[in-house]
Amino acid sequence: MRIADNFLEALSSLKNNKMRSLLTMLGIIIGITAVIAIMTIGTSMQGYLEEAMSGFGVNNVTVSLRAKSDEGPMFMGGGMFMFGGPRVEIKEKDMITGEMIDALVEQYPNEIKAVSISDSIGQGQTVRGEDYANLSLTGVSPGYVITENMTMLRGRFIGEDDIAAGRRLATVSDRLVENMFGDENPLGRELVIQTQGHIDIYTVVGVYEYDDGGWGAMMGFNTASDYDITTDVFVPLSVAQKVNNVRGYSSFTILTNMGVNSTEFGYKVEDFFGQYYNRNEDWGIGAFSMESIVEEMTSMLNTVAMAIAGIAAISLLVGGIGVMNIMLVSITERTREIGTRKAIGATNGEIRLQFIVEAIVICLVGGAIGIVLGSALGAVGAGLLNFPAQASVSSIILSVGVSTAIGLFFGFYPANKAARLDPIDALRYE
């Protein structure tokens, strides 16, 4: 019998027992759906992360104070992340000093390309008439525009001169400009910025392109409407220090040279700061890179994927046993048919092949349904997590292979049993 005829036979047999076939497929459908869904989400997330990483610069290592009572990093919106919170007060003696940073740069001249320092003044608002914009006021050094891979749209970023002179200048986001000035030229305009217990007037010298990189949306922070969105306003570092009345810094960012593993370099930096912070009871130094976060998220996702793959494997195993069971039932029911087929000239091999193909077709149809359901589920899942959905081609190919293998494996025993039936007994079977 030709293989195409085998498939037609198998389909006619399945069509004849629609409900039974569907129930038999259920295990396969659930297993494949689970695999495809998680793989689709995984692929979407990975593709997204890769794109996000290229935007952020994988070479950045962010070094900041970390309360020793705290465990891990905490994500902030807008691509910023910070260690700890205001639970333990940062005292002057806890701060990172310029001398420490200089010593670090001296220690690792080959690894460090640039250093940028930032010091947060706090969350606040600027208001003019009915217009307002939410903002996060941060003092920065000139290197910040490099390490954060920012795009300037107009004017300039904060410079060394501005820091030395302590000028009250601000580089703002295009989103803030939209809120406050609309289409007017914002350069040279003044903003009254209010943060907790502090009001000051800043002159706009530059506009950068706001880019949340999707991180905020992904982590579910930017739930505010577009107008209420909080963007960073950058002012000279010296201004922030004056407002905060401190001389040290709570964090800075290192741009490493090409080829430096930023995750490993992060550990070196943490070790380096040990000499300053080992005896500090409240604060230590945490250094981590985008790469390490991506690695962590990937490994987290892999763990979840492994767990789901385990469940899927059990489902596929149970599904496969179901297929074997139904094939045994089917063969018993069709004993006379098998006898007839043998009488009219089917060889044992042809009978075996027919039932194996039937088992494979059950699994393939189940697998196909699983691929459709899983892709849909994965797309919905990716959508909920705000990733652009990407089909996981490799998992689809894998699913087709796995379905075929299950059919082959679990179909073989029943098919072999059918092939070995004695035609005389089979024809006599009631």
Partner 1 sequence: MADIIKLENICKRYFIDMPNEIEVLHNVSISIAEGELVSIVGESGSGKSTLMNIIGALDRPTEGTYGFGGVDVAGLSQNDLSQLRKMRIGFVFQTFNLVGRISARANVEMPMTYARMGRRERSERADMLLEMVGMGERSKHKPNELSGGQKQRTAIARAMANDPDIILADEPTGALDSETGALVMGIFKDLNKKHGKTVIIVTHSLALAEQTDRIITLKDGVVVGERKGSET
Q: What does the buried/exposed string (b/e) look like for 352-384 if buried means 16 or more CB atoms within 10 Å of the residue's CB?
A: bbbbbbbbbbbbbbbbbbbbebbbebbbebbee
* Nearer residue to partner 1 within complex by CB, 243 or 362: 362
**Least distance between partner 1 and beta carbon 355 (Å):** 14
* Nearer residue to partner 1 within complex by CB, 167 or 341: 341
Contacts of 430 (CB under 8 A, 6+ apart): none
The DSSP secondary-structure symbol of 416 reads: H
* Nearer residue to partner 1 within complex by CB, 271 or 422: 422
The DSSP secondary-structure symbol of 256 reads: E
* Nearer residue to partner 1 within complex by CB, 186 or 339: 339
* Nearer residue to partner 1 within complex by CB, 261 or 340: 340
- Compute the distance between CA of residue 233 and CA of residue 206 in angstroms, rounded to an integer: 10
**Least distance between partner 1 and beta carbon 14 (Å):** 10
* Nearer residue to partner 1 within complex by CB, 346 or 357: 346
Using alpha carbons, list the distances in angstroms from residue 308 to 27, 302, 304: 14, 10, 6
Which of 419, 272, 397 minimizes the C-alpha distance to 346? 419
Contacts of 324 (CB under 8 A, 6+ apart): 359, 410, 411, 413, 414
* Nearer residue to partner 1 within complex by CB, 275 or 347: 347
- Compute the distance between CA of residue 198 and CA of residue 196 in angstroms, rounded to an integer: 6
**Least distance between partner 1 and beta carbon 426 (Å):** 10
Contacts to partner 1 by CB under 8 A: 1-2, 5, 12-13, 15-16, 336-337, 339-350, 423-424, 427
- Count of residues for the chain? 430
Q: Are 381 and 40 in contact (CB under 8 A)?
A: yes
* Nearer residue to partner 1 within complex by CB, 212 or 337: 337
The residue type found at 120 is S
State phi, psi for 143 to the nearest 5 degrees. -65, -15
What sections of 181-233 are H helices per DSSP? 215-219
CB count in 10 Å sphere of residue 98 = 13
**Least distance between partner 1 and beta carbon 416 (Å):** 14
The label of the residue with tokens 């950068």 reads: 208
**Least distance between partner 1 and beta carbon 29 (Å):** 24
* Nearer residue to partner 1 within complex by CB, 274 or 349: 349
**Least distance between partner 1 and beta carbon 420 (Å):** 11
What sections of 251-347 are H helices per DSSP? 262-277, 290-333, 335-343
Q: Are 34 and 368 in contact (CB under 8 A)?
A: no
**Least distance between partner 1 and beta carbon 348 (Å):** 6
- Compute the distance between CA of residue 323 and CA of residue 213 in angstroms, rounded to an integer: 47
**Least distance between partner 1 and beta carbon 414 (Å):** 18
**Least distance between partner 1 and beta carbon 1 (Å):** 5
Q: Are 238 and 166 in contact (CB under 8 A)?
A: yes
**Least distance between partner 1 and beta carbon 293 (Å):** 59
State phi, psi for 240 to the nearest 5 degrees. -60, -40
- Degrees (nearest 5) of the Cα angle 21, 26, 30? 155
The DSSP secondary-structure symbol of 249 reads: B
**Least distance between partner 1 and beta carbon 13 (Å):** 7
* Nearer residue to partner 1 within complex by CB, 175 or 342: 342
Q: Are 356 and 5 in contact (CB under 8 A)?
A: no
* Nearer residue to partner 1 within complex by CB, 93 or 336: 336
